[in-house]
Amino acid sequence: MKITIIGPGAMGCLLASFLSKSREEIWLLDKNAERALKIRDQGIKIEGISGNWQAKVNVTAKAEEIGPQDLIIIAVKSYDTKGALKDIKAMLGESTLVLSLQNGLGNTEIISEVAGQERTLGGATNHGATLLAAGSIRHAGRGETVFGRMDGKITAELRYIRELFNKAGLETRITKDIKALLWSKLIINVGINALTAITRLNNGRLIEFDGSRKILEEAVNEAIKVAKKKRIRLIYDDPLSKVEAVCEATAANVSSMLQDVLKQRRTEIDFINGAVVRHAQGLGIPTPVNAVLTNLVKAIESSYALQV
Active site residues: 185
Residue (128 or 239) nearer to ligand KPL, CB: 128
**Whole-number CA gyration radius for the chain:** 19
Q: Name 43's Cβ contacts closer than 8 Å, sequence gap at least 6.
A: 54, 55, 56, 57, 135
Residue in 72, 92, 85, 74 with CA at minimum distance from that of residue 161: 72
136 in contact with ligand KPL (CB under 6 A) = no
Kindly indicate which of the ranges 42-50, 208-216, 251-259, 286-294 contains the residues binding ligand KPL, using the contact rule CB under 6 A. 251-259
Residue (40 or 127) nearer to ligand KPL, CB: 127
Residue in 236, 141, 146, 137 with CA at minimum distance from that of residue 191: 236
DSSP secondary structure letters along 89-115: GGGEEEEEEEEE--SSSSHHHHHHHHH
Question: Please, which of residues 44-103 interact with ligand KPL by CB under 6 A?
Answer: 103
Q: Which of 107, 136, 145, 253 binds ligand KPL (CB under 6 A)?
A: 253
Question: Please, which of residues 203-222 interact with ligand KPL by CB under 6 A?
Answer: 203
Q: Are 196 and 206 in contact (CB under 8 A)?
A: yes
108 in contact with ligand KPL (CB under 6 A) = no
Q: What order of strands is seen across the sheet that includes strand 128-133?
A: 53-55, 44-48, 136-141, 128-133
Kindly indicate which of the ranges 58-66, 89-97, 210-218, 246-254 contains the residues binding ligand KPL, using the contact rule CB under 6 A. 246-254
Q: Name 250's Cβ contacts closer than 8 Å, sequence gap at least 6.
A: 128, 140, 141, 203, 204
256 in contact with ligand KPL (CB under 6 A) = yes
Angle at CA 68, nearest 5°, toward 67 and 70?
135
Residue (63 or 137) nearer to ligand KPL, CB: 137
- Under rule CB under 6 A, how many of the chain's residues touch ligand KPL? 12
255 in contact with ligand KPL (CB under 6 A) = yes
Considering the complex, what minimum distance in angstroms separates the CB of residue 32 from ligand KPL?
A: 22
Considering the complex, what minimum distance in angstroms separates the CB of residue 189 from ligand KPL?
A: 5
**Residues 179-198 as x/- pattern, contact with ligand KPL by CB under 6 A:** ---------xx--xx-----
Considering the complex, what minimum distance in angstroms separates the CB of residue 137 from ligand KPL?
A: 14
Considering the complex, what minimum distance in angstroms separates the CB of residue 193 from ligand KPL?
A: 5
Considering the complex, what minimum distance in angstroms separates the CB of residue 37 from ligand KPL?
A: 28
Angle at CA 65, nearest 5°, toward 59 and 69?
85
Considering the complex, what minimum distance in angstroms separates the CB of residue 159 from ligand KPL?
A: 26
Q: Which of 246, 269, 280, 289 binds ligand KPL (CB under 6 A)?
A: 246
Residue (255 or 273) nearer to ligand KPL, CB: 255
Considering the complex, what minimum distance in angstroms separates the CB of residue 108 from ligand KPL?
A: 17
Residue (59 or 181) nearer to ligand KPL, CB: 181
**Contact positions vs ligand KPL (CB under 6 A):** 103, 128, 188-189, 192-193, 203, 246, 250, 253, 255-256
